[in-house]
Amino acid sequence: MDIHGDGLITKLNHMVRTRCYRDGAIYAGGFPVADVSEYLADPRNTVWFDVCEPDPKDLEVIREELGLHALAVEDALHPGQRPKLDQYAEHEFLVAYSTDLDPETQELRGHEVGVFLTKTALVTVRADDSFDIEAVIARWDAMSRLASSGVVYLLHGLLDYVVDTHFDTVQQLDQDIDGLEGQLFDEQTSDADLQRRSFALRKSLVNFRRLVLPMRDVVSSLLKHDLGGTDETMVPYYRDVYDHILRVTEWTESLRDLLANIMETRLTVRSNRLNVIVKKVTSWAAIIAVPTAVTGFYGQNLPYPGYQQTWGFWMSTAVIVVLSVGLYVVFRIRGWL
């Protein structure tokens, strides 16, 4: 096992980053996971370590060091869990997702992180490096004045980063949907392109909603049961995170309604356009029917007024012109042509 600076340990094909806080400051970093118990023996210490691309043996070591429940370890080994907060006798297990949106395809990308919480340790488990743990560390370093709050401080930094990515994602979705709304009455935009973009945004919005809504219950549970008077310093910060989650949730619901209205409006526009086309076709058909009817009448084999007479030809021509022009003027006045 090779130990490098800034709390980074390289082992086999994955990395483990470790830190120990004492009395509100970083006390140590880069120590082996097997030494965690030595640091936790001192009640003044709070330990964090991050495992990327773990295998069962890695988590078994962590489980033995922290006394983790087998079901929580199993969940950490199988990505794709829903956002949640599971409570066990000796610890808690949290699953959260940071999110972003592909600017080209409007496809939502969720990056999962599993978190084990004990009274004096926080463990983050990532299936890959898509979840930006460096951004979380930057949050911790920027708010180091709160480090004396221990695990509660570390968890807040992680949740604050996660919710901020939700905010960025919902803002991007809002902008994309606004762009879609602007193309509703654009004659140059094809129905196929608009439907493709609408479907992509609707799919991303549904997936985003699945990742965001459970976070409201997660933070609410933390406020009610875990913080509840044990750390008054951090309570306002968690309330701020909870407020942001509520705003993202409400924004998501409004976007879902807006996207549904856009799709309905598009159908209405197409229906109205079809009605206009039908009216125009019907109007021209009525105009064309006039000369057809007149010439049909004069084409019969029976004698009629003007039969084989020059004035009969001119009379039929006049009838065609007058009726056709009359119908055209009427249809124009009514807006059918």
CA distance 95 to 113: 6
Q: Rounded mean pLDDT of 165-183?
A: 88
Q: Rounded mean pLDDT of 282-296?
A: 72
Mean pLDDT, the chain, whole residue set: 82
Local confidence band at 3 (pLDDT 50, 70, 90 cut-offs):
very low
- 19-23, 269-273, 308-312, 326-330: which is most confident: 19-23
The pLDDT, as a whole number, for residue 232 is 81
Q: Rounded mean pLDDT of 272-281?
A: 76
Q: Rounded mean pLDDT of 2-13?
A: 38
Query: Of 226-230, 264-268, 320-324, which gets the smallest average pLDDT?
Result: 226-230
Q: Rounded mean pLDDT of 81-109?
A: 91
Contact 63, 73 (CB under 8 A): yes
> For the whole model, what pTM was predicted?
0.77
The pLDDT, as a whole number, for residue 92 is 92
Residues in a beta bridge with 17: 8, 50
Provide the total of helices (H) and of strands (E) in the chain, helices listed first: 8, 9
Give the percent of the chain with pLDDT over 70: 84
Length of the chain: 337
DSSP state of 222: I
| Other Cβ atoms within 10 Å of 230 Cβ, number | 12
| Other Cβ atoms within 10 Å of 292 Cβ, number | 11
Two structure tokens written together for 273: 């356009």
Q: Rounded mean pLDDT of 308-337?
A: 73
pLDDT at position 223 over 60: yes
